[in-house]
Structure 1
Amino acid sequence: METILPIKGKVNYSITLDASVWIFDDRKIELEEFLKFDGSSEKNENDYIRTQAERFERELTGIKPPVNKSIKRFEKERILKGSFVIPLKPFLSNADPTNDSEKVQLDFKDGSKQSMTMDEAMNGFLRFSQDGKPLREDSPTHFYFGDGSNASDPFKNVTGITVI
C-alpha cells in the first residue's frame, strides 16, 4: 500500500508527504469533530491553535498533573480507534507556491484529475485514517473541502497534489 503523496508543480519546493506518519502529528483532527461544520473552516483552525497554546503552556510551566498517565492512555486509545483528517494548508504553504500559481489539482489513482482554486485547497483537509488504521480502500487519502460541501462524498484515492 502506497501512502506517499507528492506536492509538485508551480512550487519552489517539491514536497513528498507520508500519510502513514500523520497519526503522530498534533495537527490531526478527529473526523467526527471535523464533520460538525458550522460553515467556517476558521473554527477548525482556531481549535487547533487553542490546543497548541494549551500544550505550550503545559510545557512552559512544567506542571505535570497526576492524571497525565491516564490522559496518555486515553490519547493512545483515541489514536488506535479514531478516524482523522489533517489540514492541507501547512503542507501547501511549506511547498511555497509561486506567485503565478492559481489552482491546485488533485491527482487520483485511476489517472483522473480534479482542479480547484488555491483558496479551496488551502482550506481543505486530507483524511488518512479509518478506525485507527491507514485507509485501505480508496487510499492513500481523501480530500474534504473546508466548508464541508463534499462531506458525504469526498474525493477519494488522492495520490498527488499539483499546483498549476
Structure 2
Amino acid sequence: MKSIGFIPLRAGSKGIPGKNKKKLLGRPLFCWTLGEAIASNLDEIYVYTDDADILSFIEKEYHWTTKVKAIKRSDASATDTASTELAMMEFVNSIDSAFDLFCLLQATSPFTTAVDINNCLDAVASGENYDSALTVVNSHRFTWHADGTPKNYDIFNRPRRQDFEGLL
C-alpha cells in the first residue's frame, strides 16, 4: 500500500511574511515537519510550493534521500484566497504516480512526529472503517463567541483545570 505525504507551502504569507522559512531552533519551520515525514513510514513526501528559495533549499539539503520531491505549485493555487484543498486537487491531478494513502502535513504544525504520522497511516490502513485520521491537541481553555457569550464556560459549573476534558 503506497502512502504519500504532501506539504503545501506558499511564499506569500501575509500574516507572517516568509513564515515557512523562518527559523525555529535553527531550522526553517517546514523542515521540522519534513524531517518527521522522512522518518515516518510514508513512501514519498512532496513539498508543493511556489517559493523558489524552498525549491533550491530542498534540492541542496535533501539530495541524500529519494523520498523527498519538491514540486512547483501554480500561482493560482498559491494566492491568499486559494484553499489547501485546491492545492491538493491540483497536485493529485498533476502527478504521474499512483498512491493508496494521502497524508496532508502542515508546516505550521512542527510538533507532529513520525509516530503521529504512522499512527494515522496505520489507523486508515487497518481496515477498521476509517477513511481518514488526524492529529489534534487538547486545549484546556475556555472560549467565548465574538459577542462575549461563553462557548464552553459556565460560571455556576466551572470545572477545575485538571477535571476539564478540554477541547480537541
Bucket of the pairwise TM-score, normalised by the shorter protein = under 0.3
What TM-score does the superposition give when structure 1 sets the normalisation length?
0.23
What TM-score does the superposition give when structure 2 sets the normalisation length?
0.23
Higher strand share: 1
Report 1 or 2 for greater relative contact order, CA contacts < 8 Å, sequence distance ≥ 6: 1
Choose 1 or 2 for highest CA Rg: 2
